[in-house]
Amino acid sequence: MSADQTQLAFDWSCRIMADNGCGFPAPGLHSFLFKPIFTIGGFEFNKIMLLALLSTLVVVTFFTLAFGKAKIVPGKLQLLGEMGYDFVRRGIVYETLGKKEGEKYVPLMVSLFFFIWIMNIWSVIPLAQFPVAASIAFPAVLAAIVYLVWVPLTFKRHGFVGGWKNVTGYDPSLGPIKWLVSFIEFFSNLLVRPFTHAVRLFANMFAGHLMLVMFTVASWYLLNSWLIPAAGVSFIMTMGMIVFELFVQAVQAYVFVLLACSYIQGAVSEHH
């Protein structure tokens, strides 16, 4: 939650039936805005950027330590790294693209999966308490990276004419409606697809963070108002939401990478 909301939420004067006009500090857009940590010229570095940078460092450090001095008989950290790497490689990439075609995309997909997963996990880490993917800029950039992989690949694999047929689904056998179908496919593939790819991740993390903030603030607010049973219920809901968010965070990383692989699979497959 934002600094302003934290200060308001833990203000002892904020309670039910208080006569000072201090009501329930409901979460809102202010829960996703943070004051700059520092500013250089016109560039502002805030908490979200810091967490994104830390996510990168966590992923790079983990895989460097796991595979920097790889052994035939792996240690615990190397074994953990191999399990994570193999999960993405075999469970997502090979299943979608096949071993021969998919092997070259494994490094990208592994990087995307663990980077997104770590960005999401910050939501339930004390002091951090914010999923980076709840800021639309980060899912948008990741979706753009995938977009810039599969679109050029489509034309490289099929040529200019074949690439447009692949993207638009052009099929002469459809008769008079072939142009309508091609327009819909063009709009869906080149415009809607990258938007939904980014928004799917963003919306889930945005909603999850909003729910966590609401139940966390409600627990304190009700406890501060001496409504202990209600505060207990809200606290239990908070714990339940944390467990559920841990599941959603991993699932969203999986779904993002799965969709990325399916887009690439569509780019390399023959148009029918």
Q: Over its length of 272 residues, how does the chain's per-residue pLDDT go in tens digits? A: 444 444 444 555 666 655 555 666 777 777 888 888 888 888 889 999 999 999 999 999 999 999 888 788 788 889 999 999 999 999 999 999 998 889 999 999 999 999 999 999 999 998 888 999 999 999 999 999 999 999 999 999 888 888 888 888 877 777 788 788 888 888 888 899 999 999 999 999 999 999 888 888 888 777 776 678 877 888 898 898 899 999 999 999 999 999 999 999 988 876 54
DSSP state of 68: T
Nearest one of 254, 225, 223, 255 to 238, comparing CA atoms: 223
pLDDT per residue over 3-41, tens digit each? Answer: 444 444 455 566 665 555 566 677 777 788 888 888 888
* pLDDT at site 44: 87
Q: Which domain holds residue 197?
A: 3-268
Spatial distance between the Cα atoms of 253 and 117, rounded to a whole number of angstroms: 5
Nearest one of 218, 2, 230, 11 to 129, comparing CA atoms: 2
The H-assigned helical ranges of the chain are 3-9, 47-67, 76-88, 95-97, 99-102, 106-121, 137-168, 178-186, 193-224, 228-268
pTM metric for this prediction: 0.88
Q: How many distinct structural domains can be found in the chain? A: 1
Nearest one of 264, 270, 267, 271 to 96, comparing CA atoms: 264
* pLDDT at site 164: 86
* pLDDT at site 246: 93
The angle subtended at Cα 218 by Cα 217 and Cα 220, nearest 5°, is: 65
